[in-house]
């Protein structure tokens, strides 16, 4: 795995010229960078293999189109990916900074519920958010909010769409929205091919 971080630039200051005795209507529009969320995006590649516990490969198949696969970003390690251990995350499972009254809190970001259906998991009523592609919010890249049954690990799952247009008008296979406060956080990535 490799990656580089980017951040939106700060807005430039606007100006207005005034003279004594006048009243000037000045309308402002601006944006601020979120302090609750970060994004991951990238390419997916790999294959299906048959091998032993020492990773000696007996046979390997290439996956030429990973569409329908899933990328998982978890804030801890996950060893049990069974449906008994992976559940839908709810509002009450979120970190406190995601529940504060703010425009970018969890309930203003994950606004719809969908069925999460991967090769190994089928979870009903999962909170979802859709990220943007080339300036438009679309349903190609959906992020699903999941967790482990003991609530120790939050998992953010993203659907894979091979060679789709990314948020910045370049080709990518997935985009995932994940929580991040103002301190550095580590995410563990898992890939499930269909």
Condensed to tens digits (0 to 9), the pLDDT of residues 174-191 reads 999 999 988 889 999 999
Q: What is the mean pLDDT of the chain?
A: 91
Per-residue pLDDT tens for 62-87? 888 999 999 999 999 999 999 999 99
Q: In the chain, what are the domain boundaries?
A: 37-192
Question: How far apart are alpha carbons 7 and 130 in whole angstroms?
Answer: 20
Helix, strand, coil shares of the chain as percentages rounded to 5?
5, 40, 55
pLDDT at 97: 87
Instruction: Specify whether the CB–CB gap between 68 and 157 falls below 8 A.
Output: no
Read off the pTM.
Answer: 0.86
Tell me the DSSP string of 38-105.
Answer: EEEEE----EEEEE-TT--EEEEEE-S--TT-EEEEESS-----STTTEEE--GGGS-GGGTSSSTTS
Residue 10 clears pLDDT 80, i.e. is over it? no
pLDDT at 75: 96
pLDDT at 146: 98
Pick 119 or 138 by higher pLDDT. Answer: 119
pLDDT at 51: 96
Nearest residue to 158 via CA among 180, 134, 126, 186 = 126
Residue 2 clears pLDDT 70, i.e. is over it? no
Residue 7 clears pLDDT 80, i.e. is over it? no
């Amino acid at each position: 795995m490799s990656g580089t971080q980017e951040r939106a630039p700060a807005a430039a200051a606007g100006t207005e010229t005034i003279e004594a005795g006048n009243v000037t209507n000045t309308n402002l529009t601006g944006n601020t960078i979120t302090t609750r969320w970060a994004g991951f995006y990238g390419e997916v590649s790999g294959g299906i293999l048959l091998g032993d516990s020492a990773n000696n490969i007996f046979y390997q198949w290439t996956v030429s189109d990973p569409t329908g696969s899933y990328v998982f970003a978890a804030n801890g390690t996950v060893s049990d990916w069974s449906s008994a251990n992976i559940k839908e995350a709810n509002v009450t499972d979120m970190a406190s900074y995601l529940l504060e009254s703010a425009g970018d809190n969890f309930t203003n970001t994950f606004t719809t519920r969908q069925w999460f259906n991967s090769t190994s998991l089928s979870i009903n009523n999962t909170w979802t958010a859709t990220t943007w592609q080339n300036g438009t919010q679309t349903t190609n890249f959906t992020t699903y909010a999941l967790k482990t049954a003991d609530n120790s690990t939050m998992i953010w799952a993203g659907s894979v769409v091979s060679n789709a247009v990314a948020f910045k008008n370049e080709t990518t296979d997935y985009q995932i929205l994940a929580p991040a406060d103002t301190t550095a956080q580590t995410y563990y990535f898992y890939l499930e091919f269909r």
